[in-house]
Amino acid sequence: MEHFRKVTKIKLILMCLATLLPIVIVSSLEAFIKKQFGYEFLVLRYLAFALFELAIILKIVNYCLIITNENYSLKIYTKIKDERNIFIRSKIQNITIKTILFLNAIGLICAGFLDPLIFIVLAVETGIIIILYFSAFFYYRKKY
């Protein structure tokens, strides 16, 4: 349990640093995006920025509760280490990856007829997902 709290402290520090990531991205790309797209995607950009920051803040609050509250920490630890929950998370991640790859394949076919830039972006994204998937597959196959 003490190891769990120690790891949570490290995650808390990383999440606090991660709050800077969206700010850096938005501020560094702001001039380029205004020049390229104007104000068309202004609301969408800042909505994505706000949602990303909100998700990070919720994680920080969760980590603070784990560190400070013993009962909450035990509850979360049990929830994370429960074999049934591990199995359910595994199945969810499996079907999610397969669905994302299927939708990317459909998007690639459609984008091939519409816009080459969208096609390239989707192809790179799909390639990265496949590389990560097989890297994890071979790593865990060798480990277990």
- For 18-62, how does the pLDDT look when each residue is reduced to its tens digit (9 = 90+)? 888 888 887 787 767 666 666 666 777 788 888 989 999 999 999
CA distances from 111 to 12, 44, 97, 105 (A): 40, 21, 20, 10
- Kindly indicate the confidence band of residue 64, based on its pLDDT and cuts at 50, 70 and 90: very high
1 or 116, which is more confident: 116
Question: What residue spans define the domains of the chain?
Answer: 1-81, 83-144
Instruction: Find out whether 108 and 126 touch, Cβ atoms under 8 Å.
Output: yes
Q: d(Cα 43, Cα 45) in Å, to the nearest integer?
A: 5
Q: What is the pLDDT of residues 4-18, one digit of tens each?
A: 888 999 999 999 988
Mean pLDDT (the chain) is 87
Share of the chain above pLDDT 70, in %: 92
Q: Which residue has the tokens 């790891």?
A: 7
CA distances from 62 to 51, 56, 74, 88, 110 (A): 17, 10, 13, 21, 41
